[in-house]
A and B are shown apart, each in its own frame.
Chain A
């Protein structure tokens, strides 16, 4: 009987029959256990795809006036007179003025039927100035119309406006977080690396910013943006304003991880093995706090989206013709409009879904960030 000595497998493979998984795989296992987080990925992906391909998905141009103001939401139906029809049909709509209340009343005309079609011609549009076309994902023939989320006071399709508005609302979170991340990594890194009074000063600054009530501060800064700025300038102005507060959390995370990892054995081992500082940071430190940073970044996106919505809602963030969910909610500002057209609040529902999805995803990522902790999620 002979025993052959085998070298221990490094990275992957198995040790004495037990499978060894890479940290990334372990993270994935852990992340997968958080079902809400996994579902949120799909929601977020759908939202961003909608934002990217907004011009094809929206059935109307966001500014085109259909001549049917305050039309309530109407959905195509598959049941007509108790019979199943396919494709779904939208009924014709006629508007009358109620002579007593002077309100517009929309009557459904079931004799006119417009089957819903895919890839149908409609308003002309282009993808950020490229590929001009008049093809829309879905719609009905000319003469008929259906509004999934109703129309606003000027008869513009709220659904189309929401789809277009998602471009600004969803990207402002990403751009804002990117700026915060740069600030946070630099200041948090400096703070954690140098320590001493630099660390103390940065920590104090973070504390001061964090105990500032953010909304009044944001309002004051946003209101001071010059009135003659273009939409693009205001957009970046707002993101910078939001990042001025947003970087503090990220800086804390970076500093905390930096401080705790610096003392780890594997860093010492790498140093003893003669690794350069750059290699230690790039090869050993960065991968081990990357996951934590990704989780914190995800968790700080929703607050950016909420802040932009709040500022635009108040009319001191983005203003029309720029379109964001907050701008759309401006229409829902007074009670009388709300009483006539409660569907104008629907862009808010989209805000809630987005914020929740990012929160769940961030939660899942945070749990997965440390695959070696025994704590299960929640």
Chain B
């Protein structure tokens, strides 16, 4: 088991390097460097910037270095100092902005994942056991609808319905009075009352796929002879299903986390822009529009890195559940 974990950890290194290169490319992509857009902004405000200051700044940020030196400096700062650069839009270190926003994104994404799982598992089992029943068709269609409706459309519809019929504003994660309040039970309840909306919206997209995976796996198991044997021996049907086929069908459930988690993060980003949640979405969006490149690059980097870690955890979990994987 430990050998497996170690192997996976070593495998992560090239992945992380590629991710960092992609993020660095994103920082470098917009025309000009961030300093020129910073200077353009200063000049738009009426401040004149003399050439000496510009040169000093270029030197300080190492913009005259070859591109790969810049990359290693950028990466070195992150790895050794936790320094992601400076956001010119917010006049704050990027790390500070990221720390505020990343946890909420992962809170919403994780809750969405749990939601999708807890909805998909019973439905998947039901659809398999009662194959081609009315309920099976109903849930299949419902799942497909969840797959077909873009996340942001669902968010907009929620916004519209709550505004039109309940007169509520559902944006944000907290009511105004709790926004800056210290943590308390009331604040937690308030959070939950806001949290379920993005969780349901983001979760529905992943549910359809999970239902189909569960259904297919349980169906495969149900056809195996041991099920017949157990049934002929008079084992209670419910107990039989829950004890054997479902347990085996659970494995792909865990492994599917690898491709569902990135989707959840993606969904969270776009839904939070529509609902204006205090997560990465709106900030990343604003950073991209104002070419606040260091902030945008850092967000993309951290979202990807944390997703990779999430996938790693799911792999380890799977290996722990299924010895065939860790021994192969």
Interface residues of B in 177-217 (CB under 8 A from A): none
Given that A224-B30, A345-B157, A356-B144 are contacting pairs, would A212 and B304 also be in contact in the complex, using a CB cutoff of 8 Å? yes
Q: How far is the CB of A197 from chain B (nearest CB, A)?
A: 13
Are the C-beta atoms of B30 and A212 separated by less than 8 Å?
Answer: no
B150→A309 contact, CB < 8 A: yes
Q: Which of A313, A333, A335, A338 has the most CB of B within 10 A?
A: A335
Contact status A226-B262, CB under 8 Å: no
Least Cβ distance of A238 to chain B in Å? Answer: 15
Q: Is A210 an interface residue (CB 8 A)?
A: yes
Interface string of B275-303 (1 = CB under 8 A from A): 00000100011001101000011011001
Q: How far is the CA of A342 from the CA of B267 in the complex (A)?
A: 23
| Tally of contact residues, A, Cβ under 8 A | 43
Q: Is the CB of B273 within 8 A of A216?
A: no
A316 with B288: in contact, given A211-B258, A216-B266 (CB under 8 Å)? yes
Does A329 touch B at the CB level, under 8 Å?
A: yes
A352–B296 contact, CB under 8 A? Answer: no
If the complex has contacts A221-B26, A338-B163, A339-B160, are A352 and B153 also in contact, measured as CB distance less than 8 A?
Answer: yes
CB neighbours of B241 from chain A (8 A): none
Name which residue of chain B comes closest to A212, CB basis.
B304
B27 nearest in chain A by CB position: A220
Docked CA distance A313–B285 (Å): 12
Using Cβ atoms and an 8 Å threshold, which residues of chain A touch B159?
335, 338
Contact B266 A207 (CB under 8 A): no
Using CB atoms, name the residue of chain A closest to B15. A208
Contact between chains at B145 and A339 (CB < 8 Å): no
- Does A310 lie within 8 Å of B163, measured CB to CB? no
- A338 lies within 8 A of B148 (CB): no
Q: Are A335 and B150 in contact (CB under 8 A)?
A: no
Chain B residues with Cβ below 8 Å from A333 are: 156, 274
Asked whether A205 lies within 8 Å of B148 as measured between CB atoms, the reply is no
* Min CB–CB distance A329 → chain B (angstroms): 7
B288 touches A214 (CB 8 A): no
Q: Report how far A208 CA is from B150 CA in the complex, Å.
A: 24
In this assembly, does A223 line the interface, its C-beta being within 8 Å of a C-beta of chain B?
yes
The B contact surface, by secondary structure, is helix
Q: Is the CB of A213 within 8 A of B153?
A: no
How would residues 334 to 356 of chain A score, 1 for a CB under 8 Å from any chain B CB and 0 otherwise?
01001100100100100111011
With both chains docked as a complex, state the minimum distance between the C-beta of B47 and any C-beta of chain A, in angstroms: 24
Given A211-B262, A224-B26, A359-B144, answer yes or no on A217-B300 (Cβ-Cβ < 8 Å).
yes
What separation, in Å, do the CA atoms of A216 and B140 have in the docked complex? 29
For B288, give its contact among A211, A213, A220, A345 (CB under 8 Å): A220
Task: Report if A43 contacts B (CB, 8 A).
Answer: no
Q: How far is the CA of A215 from the CA of B299 in the complex (A)?
A: 12
- Are A352 and B148 within 8 A (Cβ)? yes
Give a binary string over A344-372; 1 marks a CB under 8 Å from any B CB, 0 the rest.
01001001110110011000000000000
Q: Are B156 and A215 in contact (CB under 8 A)?
A: no
Cβ–Cβ < 8 Å partners of B148 in chain A: 302, 351-353, 355-356, 359
Contacts of A332 in B (CB 8 A): 156
> Given A217-B300, A219-B285, A309-B150: A356 and B145 within 8 A (CB)?
yes
C-alpha spacing A378/B266, complex, angstroms: 28
B19–A212 CB distance below 8 A = yes
Known: A216-B266, A219-B284, A352-B153. 14 other contacts (CB 8 A): A210-B262, A211-B261, A213-B304, A215-B269, A215-B270, A216-B280, A217-B22, A217-B304, A220-B26, A220-B284, A329-B153, A338-B163, A356-B144, A378-B140
A-B pairs with lowest CB-CB distance, top 3: A215-B266, A224-B29, A223-B288
Chain A to chain B contacts (Cβ below 8 Å), 24 pairs: A204-B15, A207-B15, A208-B19, A213-B307, A214-B263, A215-B267, A216-B269, A216-B280, A216-B304, A219-B285, A220-B284, A220-B288, A221-B26, A221-B29, A223-B288, A224-B26, A226-B31, A314-B270, A332-B156, A338-B156, A342-B164, A348-B149, A359-B144, A378-B140
Contacts from B to A (Cβ < 8 Å): 14-15, 18-19, 22, 26, 29-31, 131, 140, 144-145, 147-153, 156-157, 159-160, 163-164, 169, 258-259, 261-263, 265-267, 269-270, 273-274, 280, 284-285, 288-289, 291, 296-297, 299-300, 303-304, 307-308, 311
Interface of A toward B, CB cutoff 8 Å: 204-205, 207-208, 210-217, 219-221, 223-224, 226, 302, 306, 309-310, 313-316, 329, 332-333, 335, 338-339, 342, 345, 348, 351-353, 355-356, 359-360, 378
